[in-house]
């Protein structure tokens, strides 16, 4: 059963709407594995290799959580993408991931840092905290 559980309505029991995640990661293998694991947990997952692809997705659908590498290629890195999401006041939670020991700086106000390499359990715990509280 997905970790966000079920809710009862009327005579039946229905699952809550699937949380929608956007993974922004230029490491194809990491992106595919993370997306696959999160789909198994019941998330609807969209993928982007860079910020330009992410912006296209974010302009099209409402996303609950963006999980972005800080070092994505292109005109916008992960920090710039997080600022873009915040400036548009999207109701989207932001997780920034990085292999480097770095500070979120101003992004600490609106993003959470996830150190790479990360385990599935870490991602699940963070998502649970972000989506259920």
Question: What's the pTM value of the predicted model, to 2 decimals?
Answer: 0.83
Residue 8, in any domain of the structure: no
Q: What distance in Å separates the CA atoms of residue 77 and residue 129, rounded to the nearest whole number?
A: 25
**Among 15-24, 71-80, 117-126, which stretch is predicted with the lowest mean pLDDT?**
15-24
Domain count, the chain: 1
> What CATH number should be reported for the domain holding residue 73?
3.40.50.2300
Sort 34 into a burial class: Cβ within 10 Å, 0-12 / 13-18 / 19+. buried
Q: At what angle do helices 78-87 and 51-58 cross, to 10 degrees?
A: 20
Query: What backbone torsions phi and psi does residue 102 show, to the nearest 5 degrees?
Result: -140, 160
Identify the top-confidence range among 17-21, 67-71, 121-125. 67-71
Residue-number span of the structural domain to which 81 is assigned: 17-132
**116's tokens:** 């790479």
Q: Is 111 helix (H, G, I), strand (E, B) or coil?
A: coil
Residue 93, in any domain of the structure: yes
pLDDT of residue 36: 96
Confidence of residue 18 (pLDDT cuts 50, 70, 90): confident
Confidence of residue 94 (pLDDT cuts 50, 70, 90): very high
Buried b (16+ CB within 10 A) or exposed e, 94-120: bbbbbeeeeebeebeeebbbbeeebee
Residue 10, in any domain of the structure: no
Residue 38, in any domain of the structure: yes
Q: Is the pLDDT of residue 64 over 90?
A: yes
Q: Is the pLDDT of residue 23 over 90?
A: yes
């Amino acid at each position: 059963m997905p970790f966000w559980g079920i809710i009862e309505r009327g005579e039946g029991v229905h699952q809550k709407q699937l949380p929608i995640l956007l993974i922004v990661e230029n490491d194809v293998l990491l992106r595919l594995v993370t997306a696959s694991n999160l789909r198994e947990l019941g998330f609807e997952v969209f993928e982007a290799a860079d910020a330009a692809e992410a912006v296209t997705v974010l302009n099209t659908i409402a996303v609950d959580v963006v999980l972005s590498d800080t070092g994505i290629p292109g005109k916008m890195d992960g920090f710039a993408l997080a600022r873009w999401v915040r400036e548009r006041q999207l109701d989207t939670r932001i997780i920034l991931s990085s292999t480097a020991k770095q500070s979120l700086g101003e992004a600490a106000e609106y993003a959470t840092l996830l150190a790479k390499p990360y385990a599935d359990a870490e991602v699940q715990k963070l998502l649970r905290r972000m989506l259920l509280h």
